[in-house]
Amino acid sequence: MTAPTRPSATPVRGVASSRSLTDRTILRVALRGSLTKLDPRVQVRNPVMFVVYLGTIVTAIASIVHPSLFSWLVTVWLAFTVLFANFAEAMAEGRGKAQADALRRTRTQTEARRLRDDGTEERVPATQLVAGQLVVCEAGDVIPADGEITEGVASVDESAITGESAPVIREAGGDRSSVTGGTRVLSDRIVVRVTAGAGESFLDRMIALVEGADRRRTPNEVALSILLVALTVIFVPVVVVLEPYAHYAHVGIPIVDLVALLVCLIPTTIGALLSAIGIAGMDRMVQRNVLAMSGRAVEAAGDVSTLLLDKTGTITFGNRMASRFIGIGGVADGDVAAAGRLASLADETPEGRSIVKLAKDAYGLRDPVDPASLRFVPFTATTRMSGVDTDEGSIRKGATEAVKEWVRQQGGVIPVELDELSASIAREGATPLAVAAGDRVLGLIELRDVVKAGIRERFEQLRAMGIRTVMITGDNPLTASAIAAEAGVDDFLAEATPERKLELIREEQADGKLVAMTGDGTNDAPALAQADVGVAMNSGTVAAKEAANMIDLDSSPTKLIDIVEVGKQILITRGALTTFSIANDLAKYFAIIPALFVTAYPGLSVLNIMHLHSPESAILSAVIFNALVIVALIPLALRGVRFRPSSARSIIRRNVFIYGIGGVIVPFIGIKLIDLVLAATRAFS
């Protein structure tokens, strides 16, 4: 008897699902989009390609009036140039639309269990919910709208949004109280206050942004567009003037040849790919599970010069663990361990559990304790201590200053070496916790937060790009200084408060720098709003997500470094393709100008360095290459130029060498090969 087979798990595809450039669905959408974009109202948005569009119409009319194989071939390839440009943009948009469709499938027409004022429930369609209303969600329920948990704690499946199958914990009263409509509750019961009505939810905004409906051109993109328009405007009168000049030289230049020359001289390559580069940049952010609220934020990420990074969870693992017990004033280390363990038995924090574990591992302290004889004192931000009261006395552990004050209140004396030993531990990047029993300080517990492996190398790469890193921490300056030195950051802000973070950002911006930071709490909202690139954790509060211009769906503090790299890659890609586009006009010049005037001025034949077969094949070869190079560069525009951390000067030098010199050489080779093919067909003998 064979065992029943388990059904295979269906992979979860969230917003960040990456799609291949050869995805058939996207290709079909892009092919259809390349035709629908032929609408003049769409074409006019891209002035460079609109000139090509008008030129195609002019050559088509000329081909009808004076039909010839050459004029029709030029017309067809000019039409392909426009279609290929449309295809590039449609490909970029198609990837976003495919992801938007996946998000739409996560939306279900669900009923909400809305709470009335008297505490009873009523079932209503989720579309009727408005901000401020309370809804109840239990295990198995789909959360009907965006909101904040006001009561309870639950495990929530957010795979429809993030693509991550592991559930997350959401609870009331903290920085992890925010929930998203369309996610599913897996356990327990929560009460959620709705923060967004129908059509205004986080999921709706994600769909609009991923789909590109809200994409606006960035300032750099606008500036580059103005440059491209200016170059086009310069070449139009130059080409127009050639007609009377040719008439004076007793040379007739057909209108088809003039249009071909104009199209080959204006920056059609970057004009065709510019929009696709911008859309693809947003898409690459989404593939990293980052939702950018605007293209301006993505572009700013590439120009960032200062990064503000939280120490906990970004530079270090975040869980401080007990590493050793240190006795003071003749107290044995084991006695400190015994007292620290007793004070930590009810402490469920990672630090508290690590103290109990270290006491057991290092000193074998595992004797059972009668809970009835203990009265545990929880930690509070006011006292900065926790501990236990027994029939024999009281034990406290906590911040050194807080424990010192408590001992003084008990009438005790503070050992002289306490401050010196505490400072020594802090200088090493660890955190000292004092332990006291009654009126006597017993010793210290050393807690260490381990710096993540490889983080120092990442900071060195950022430094090579001219980016300054600043560590933000609530630790005291001594501890912060030690961790900053170990991690390799350029500067740090210790004992950070919301006001101090905001002040630091404004100081950096006053010096002309762009600043990026991450945050997840309500107290981070002012700084996130002030930063040029503010990245909020998806697990954070609604206030933080509203203030930020990017949201990290994975809630990973280290994602900020990846965001900067994607932003840099977008700028590098745009610059590289612009350099290539302008450089390859040189080869087209050597192909077309001799072809137009060689009859009147035979001396121009020396410019025919490619030895092209005939004037007609020279012009047509340049037009065909001009169209095909757009297709060849679409993958590069969508995937981006490979990013390598280095200084701006090195990046410019590499781009000029690869895409500048390459932009001159490649067209010579390409045009010559096309000319050989045309010559072999004997179409223009």
> What does the pLDDT read at residue 5?
34
Q: What is the pLDDT of residues 102-151, one digit of tens each?
A: 656 555 567 889 998 888 889 888 878 888 899 999 988 888 888 889 88
Residue ranges of E strands in 259-311: 290-292, 306-310
Q: Is 475 a catalytic residue?
A: no
Cα separation, 592 vs 619, in Å, equals 5
- In the structure, what pLDDT confidence band is assigned to residue 56 with cuts at 50, 70 and 90? very high
**What are the helix (H) ranges across 131-267?**
159-162, 202-211, 219-248, 255-265
Q: Which of 160-164, 390-394, 459-463, 514-518 has the lowest mean pLDDT?
A: 160-164
High-pLDDT (> 90) share of the chain, %: 18
Tokens 């709003």 belong to 529
Q: What local confidence, expressed as pLDDT, does residue 437 receive? A: 92
Asked if residue 180 belongs to a known ligand binding site, the reply is no
Name every residue whose Cβ is closer than 8 Å to that of residue 97 and which is 6 or more positions away in sequence. Answer: 29, 211, 212
Token pair for 184: 């599913």
93 among the known binding-site residues? no
| Sign of the dihedral through C-alpha 116, 118, 121, 122 | negative
Backbone angles phi, psi at 187, to 5 degrees: -155, 160
pLDDT tens per residue, range 470-517:
988 877 787 788 888 888 899 998 888 888 888 999 999 998 888 998
Highest-confidence range of 66-80, 354-368, 385-399, 584-598, by mean pLDDT? 66-80
Which 3-state string (H, E, C) describes 36-98? HCCCHHHHCCCHHHHHHHHHHHHHHHHHHHCCCHHHHHHHHHHHHHHHHHHHHHHHHHHHHHH
CA 492-426-309 angle, 5° bins: 25
Q: Per DSSP, what are the bridge partners of residue 588?
A: none
Q: In a 3-state reduction of DSSP, which class is residue 516?
A: strand
Mean pLDDT across the stretch 206-231?
A: 71
Exactly one of 257, 310, 532, 562 is catalytic; name it. Answer: 310
The total of other beta-carbon atoms located within 10 Å of residue 369's CB is 12
**Cβ atoms of residues 598 and 604 within 8 Å:** yes
Separate counts of helices (H) and strands (E) for the chain: 24, 22
Q: For residue 216, name the pLDDT band (cuts at 50, 70, 90).
A: low
pLDDT, position 59: 95
Q: Would you state the structure tokens that stand for residue 64, as one six-digit string?
A: 């009808």
Residue 384 labeled ligand binder: yes
Tell me the whole-structure pTM to 2 decimals. Answer: 0.67
Which tokens go with 141? 């329920």
Q: What is the pLDDT of residue 51?
A: 93
Q: Is 570 helix (H, G, I), strand (E, B) or coil?
A: helix
370 annotated binding-site participant: no
Tell me how far apart the 2 most distant CA atoms of the chain are, in Å: 116
Q: What percent of the chain has pLDDT over 70?
A: 85
Note the residue count of the chain: 685
pLDDT computed for residue 18 by the predictor: 52
pLDDT-derived band at 601 (thresholds 50, 70, 90) equals low
Question: What is the pLDDT confidence band of residue 10, given thresholds at 50, 70 and 90?
Answer: very low
| pLDDT in the model for residue 8 | 33
pLDDT number for residue 65:
92
Least reliable range by pLDDT among 301-315, 446-460, 604-618, 668-682: 604-618
Is 321 annotated as ligand-binding?
Answer: no
**Nearest C-alpha neighbor of 280 from the set 465, 26, 584:** 26
Tokens of 421: 């030993």
Q: Kindly report the number of other CB atoms within 10 A of residue 660's CB atom.
A: 19
Whole-angstrom CA distances from 132 to 73, 111, 546 are 65, 17, 16
User: 383: which strand partners?
Assistant: none
Q: Which of 97, 102, 104, 78 is nearest to 28 (CA)?
A: 97
What are the CA-CA distances from residue 39 to residues 82, 89, 206, 269 (Å)? 11, 14, 28, 20
* AA identity, residue 635: P
Give the model's pLDDT for residue 379.
Answer: 80
Give the range with max mean pLDDT: 58-72, 202-216, 521-535.
58-72
Q: 314: annotated binding-site residue? A: no
Residues 240-294 pLDDT 10s = 887 787 777 677 778 898 899 899 889 999 999 988 887 787 777 877 878 777 6
Q: How far apart are the first and last CA of the chain?
A: 78
CA distance 471 to 453: 16
Is 568 annotated as contributing to ligand binding?
Answer: no
Q: What is the mean pLDDT of residues 296-303?
A: 81
Determine the distance from the C-alpha atom of residue 362 to the mean position of all C-alpha atoms in its chain, rounded to a whole number.
Answer: 44
Structure tokens at 661: 């010199």
Q: Is 625 annotated as a binding residue?
A: no
Q: What are phi and psi of 523, to 5 degrees?
A: -70, -10
CB atoms closer than 10 angstroms to residue 89: 28
Q: Is 381 annotated as a binding residue?
A: yes
Domains of the chain are 24-98+211-285+569-681 (no CATH), 111-198 (2.70.150.10), 290-315+452-553 (3.40.50.1000), 321-445 (3.40.1110.10)
d(CA 148, CA 152): 11
What gap in Å lies between CA 409 and CA 418, rounded to an integer?
17
* Phi, then psi, of 157 in degrees rounded to 5: -90, 110
Greater confidence (270 vs 175) lies with 270
Is the pLDDT confidence value at 55 over 90?
Answer: yes
> Can you say whether the dihedral through the CA atoms of 125, 131, 132, 135 is positive or negative?
positive
How many C-beta atoms surround the C-beta of residue 409 within 10 A? 9
383 known member of a binding site: yes
pLDDT at position 657 over 80: yes
> Would you state the pLDDT for residue 619?
87
Does the annotation place 685 within a ligand binding site?
no
Least confident of 104-108, 328-332, 371-375, 660-664: 104-108
Q: 22-59 in b/e burial notation, b at 16+ Cβ within 10 A?
A: ebeebbebbeebbeebeeeebbeebbbbbbbbbbbebb
β-pairing verdict for 515-519 and 393-398: unpaired
What does the pLDDT average to over 201-213?
Answer: 62
Q: What is the pLDDT of residue 72?
A: 94
